[in-house]
Structure 1
Amino acid sequence: MGSLRKIYIITGAFFAALLLGLVAFTTWYTVDESDQAVILTFGEVDETITEPGLHFKMPWPVQTIEKLPKETFSLQFGYEQKDGEIKEYPEDTKMITGDENIVLADLVVQWKITDPSKYLFNSDEPEEILYNTTSSALRSIIGSSKIDDALTSGKAEIEADVRELLSTLIDKYDIGISVLAVKLQDVELPNKEVRKAFTNVTSARETMNTKINEAKKYENKRMNEAKGEKDALISNANGEKAARTERARGDVAVFDKLYQEYKKNPDITKERLIIETIEQVLPSSQIYIMNDEGNTMKYFPIRSLEKEQPKPKEEGAGQ
C-alpha cells in the first residue's frame, strides 16, 4: 500500500512538473522587428501582434502563435531565377495584344502581407491566387494595348494599369496581401525576324525624335536671332526717326529765320536764295556780279581775284 502511494506521488509530481514546465515555456513568446504574429485561441484568430518584443499568452493548447514576415516579397511572373540561372515559362508569358499581335511579357510584382489572419485563413494558397491574378491582370491590359505601345513608349502606362487592376482584384479576393509595385521585365516578340523589324522601327523612331529635337533647337536659335535682329532694326529705326525729327526741326528753324529776313527785305532774300540754289544745282559754274548800264556790260571778276590772291605761307616754311 505504501509503495502504491509512493508511485502516485511520483507520478503526480511528474505531471505537475510537466504542467509547470509547459506553462513556463508556452505562456510567453517574442516577436522580431521583421515579423508579425497571430494569436490563435483554440484554433480561432484572437489577436494580431505587430509590435516587436516579449509578449505573454495563455499556455498551449489554449493559445498558439503563428508568425509571418513583414518583409516585401517578389513574385516573378513568367520566369524563375535561382542561383543565378533563369528558367523561363513561355506558356505563361505568351499573350495577344489589342491589335492581334503575339508578344511575350513577364514582370515582377512587389507585395507584402498586410493582414496575417486573412493571409492564413481566407485561402489555402494565397501566393498561387496572386500569381493567377497577376496573369489575368497582365493579359487584360496587354489585350487592350497596341503592340507598338507594349514594345516601346507605352510600358510605363501598362505597368500602372496592371498595378491598378491587380490591386483591385486582390482587394476583392480579400487574402490579406497588398501589391506595392509592378515592373515589366521584358516585352518581346516571339521570333527573331519580327523582333528585328520592330527594333528597326524603334531605332527609326528614336532618330526621328532626335531630328525633331535638333530642329526645335535650331528653330529656337533662329527665333532668338530674329528677335535680336528685330530689336536692332526697331532701335535703329527709332534712332533714325529721332535724327530726322531733329533735322526737320532744324530745317523749320532755318526756314523761320529765312522767312523773317524775307519779310524784312524780300528782294535781297529772293536773290540770295536763287544764288544758293544755283550753287547747289550747278556746283562747277562761275558766278559773275554784273551791272548792265546801257550798251556796255560790266562785271566784277570775283573768281579771278580769288585765284590771284597769294596763298598764306605755312608756319615754319623757308626758315
Structure 2
Amino acid sequence: MMIHLPAVNVSKLTQRIKHAALGMFNLNDSKWGREGEKPSQDGADLPPVPPSSSPNDSQDKPSYQAPQGNKRPNEGPPDLDELWRDFNQKLGGIFGGAKDKGRQPPNFGGNNGGGNGNGNGGGFQPDMKSAGKGAVLVAAVAALIWFGTGFFIVQEGQQAVITRFGEIKGTREAGFNWRLPYPIERHETVALTQLRSIEIGRGTTVQGTGLKDSSMLTQDENIVDIKFTVQYRLKSAADFLFQNRNPDDAVTKAAESAIREVVGKGAMDTVLNKDRESIQRDVLASIQAQMDRYKTGIHVQTVNIQNVQPPEPVQAAFDDALKAGQDRDRLKNEGQAYANDVVPRAKGTAARLKEEADGYKANVIARAEGDAQRFKSIQVEYSKAPQVTRDRLYLDTMQQIYSNVTKVVVDSKQGNNLLYLPLDKIMQLTAAGTSTANGTTDTNAVANASSATPATPIAPANTTDSRSRDTSRSR
C-alpha cells in the first residue's frame, strides 16, 4: 500500500504536535476524554434506560434516573472508546484533516439490541489516512532518536576506537564525536595517559621447585631473588584492544623473560654489586622490543628494581662474604689513600733534593772557576813581588781560619794563674761547625760559650821588636 503524504510545514507541524499533546494527555482537564461530546438536549444523547428483566427486580432495585444537564452517571473516568475517538480527532487535526464530530464511539459489545447495526449502535470506522500519517511521524521520531544515539563524548587523555560490524574503521580523539548508531558501529574508549604498574617477583613459591617466582639463575650457577616493578602507558588503542588478549599478562611474561636474560649473562657478584641503573636500562629495552614485536600498543615507561638479594637459606653466609668484601674494599681504599699521600710527598722531596744538588753543583763549579781565575790573577802578581804576595796570602788564610774558630788568648808572662778552659763547649761548637754546609759556626753558641768562660785577665799588649815581626813574616 502506497501512502502519499502532503507537504507539511515543519514549524507549524511542531506547534500542532505540542498543542495536541498538551490537550490529549492533560489529566487535569475536566473535559479530558469528552472533547467530542455535545451538550445533551432533552436527554437525546443520554444512554437508554436499561429494561427491567422482571417486575420483582423493578421493585427491589432503585429506578434509573437520567443525569441532568451535561453530567454523566457517577462522573466516572472516560472509557476506551472515548479515548480512541479523541486520539483520532486530534491526530486528524494535526495533519489538516477535518474532525469527525458526528462519529459515534465504537460499539464493542454488539448492536445494542438491534440486528442490523444501524442507528446509534453502528460500528466505528477509523481514519486510515490519519493513522498512516501518525505512523510515519512516530517512525521519524524513532529514527531521529536512533541517530541521536550515535553521539558520544571522549574524555581528555582517552581515545575511542570505532568498529563497524567488528571491523576497525578508525579512532576518535578527545571531544564530541559521532558514529553510526548501534548495531552498525560501536566504539570503545581507552585511557592512553593512564600510568599502569605491574609488580614482578611477589615471592610466591613455585610448585615442584620450592623456589620463589622471583628467583633468577646467574651465569655462575647461583640464585638471586629480584623484585621490581614495570610501569607502562598505551600508545595505540587499536593494537591494545585487538592485538592481544591479556595485556597485563603479556607485560608480566615479557618482564620475567627480560630479567632472566639480563641476570643470566652476569655472575652473582656482578648482579649484586652492579649499578642497578644499567640493569634497568637493559631490562626496559628487552621488554619494549618484545612489546613492539607482538604489536601490543604498549610503551614501557620505567623499570624500577626494588630489591636484589640471595635466597634466604644462604643469607647469613652471604652477609659474611659481603662483609669480608667490604673490609677488603676498605683496606684497599686506605692503602690507596696512604699511597696518594706518601708518593707525592716523596716525589716532592726527591725533586727538592735534586734541585739542591743542582744548586750545589753550580755553586761549587762557579766557586772553583772563580778560584782558578783568582789564582791566575794572583800568579801574575806573585811573579812581580813573590814575598809580598806570599805574606798577603798568609794573612788572608789566617783571617779566614781564625774568624771561624773559638779563640782562647793566654798570656804566659802574666803569672801562674789557674786557667779554666771550657773544652766541652769548644768541642760542641767544633762539631756543630763541621756539620754545617758552609763551615760557619753558630754565633749564639759561641756567645754562650764565651759567656760561660770566666773572665781571664789579659795583660797589656807588649811591644814586639823587629825580630819577632820578621820571624812571623818568614813563616
What's the TM-score once normalised by structure 1's chain length?
Answer: 0.72
> Is the 2:154–2:160 contact (alpha carbons within 8 Å) kept by the matching residues of 1?
no
Distance 1:114 1:170 in 2: 11
Identical aligned residues as a percent: 27
Alignment check: 8 A CA contact 1:38 1:45 kept: yes
Match of 2:468 in 1: 301
Match of 2:196 in 1: 73
Aligned twin of 1:159 = 280
**Residue 109 of structure 1 pairs with residue 230 of structure 2:** yes
Quote the Cα distance in structure 2 between the aligned partners of 1:46 and 1:229: 84
Matched, 1:211 2:331: yes
Structure 1 residues 146 and 301: alpha-carbon distance in aligned structure 2, compared to 1, 3 A threshold: same
Aligned residues: 281
**Structure (1 or 2) with the greater strand fraction:** 1
Post-superposition offset of 1:3: 5.0
Contact conserved, 2:151 with 2:176, CA < 8 A, in 1? Answer: no
Q: Are residue 30 (structure 1) and residue 154 (structure 2) matched?
A: yes
Picking from 147, 154, 164, the partner of 2:268 is 147
Do the aligned partners of 1:27 and 1:60 also contact (CA within 8 Å) in 2? Answer: no
CA apart distance, 1:188: 3.0
Shift of 1:77: 1.4
**Deviation of 1:156 (Å):** 4.3
Distance between the aligned counterparts of 2:162 and 2:384, measured in 1? 126
Structure with bigger helix share is 1
Measure the CA separation in 1 of the matches of 2:165 and 2:217.
50
Matched, 1:220 2:340: yes
CA distance in 2, matches of 1:250, 1:189: 81
Change (3 A) 1:18 1:245: farther
Q: CA RMSD in A?
A: 3.5
Which runs of structure 2 are paired with 1:1-319 in the superposition (5 Å)? 2-32=126-156, 34-50=157-173, 52-70=174-192, 71-79=194-202, 88-91=203-206, 92-153=213-274, 155-192=276-313, 194-266=314-386, 268-269=388-389, 300-302=467-469
Structure of greater Rg: 2
CA distance in 2 between counterparts of 1:234 and 1:49 reads 84
CA distance in 1, matches of 2:270, 2:127: 89
**Superposed CA offset, 1:101-150 (max 9, x none):** 33333321122211211111112212212212222222333334323333
What SS does the aligned partner of 2:171 have?
Answer: strand
**CA separation in 2, counterparts of 1:281 and 1:76?**
95
CA gap of 1:9–1:144, structure 2 versus 1, over 3 A, is same
Query: How does the TM-score come out when normalised to structure 2?
Result: 0.51
Higher relative contact order (CA 8 A, sep 6+): 1
Aligned partners of 1:251 and 1:54: how far apart in 2? Answer: 110
Change beyond 3 A, Cα 1:8–1:198: farther
Residue identity opposite 1:141 in structure 2: V
Deviations 1:53-91 (A, max 9, x none): 344444444433221112221111122xxxxxxxx4232
Using a 3 Å threshold, how does the CA distance of structure 1 residues 219 and 300 change in structure 2: closer, same or farther?
same
1:25-54 deviations in Å (ceiling 9; x for gaps):
42353341x22222323332222345x434
Gap runs ≥5 in structure 2: 1-124, 207-212, 408-464
Q: 1:199 to 1:264 in 2, by over 3 A?
A: same
Instruction: Please list the CA deviations of residues 145-204 of structure 1 after superposition, one character each: whole Å capped at 9, or x if unmatched.
Output: 323333333644443333333222222222111223322223333334x11111222222
Q: Is the 8 A contact 1:152 1:202 kept in 2?
A: no
Gaps of 5+ in 1: 80-87, 285-297, 306-319
Aligned partner of residue 262 in structure 2, secondary structure? helix
Residue aligning to 1:315: none
Q: 1:240 to 1:14 in 2, by over 3 A?
A: farther
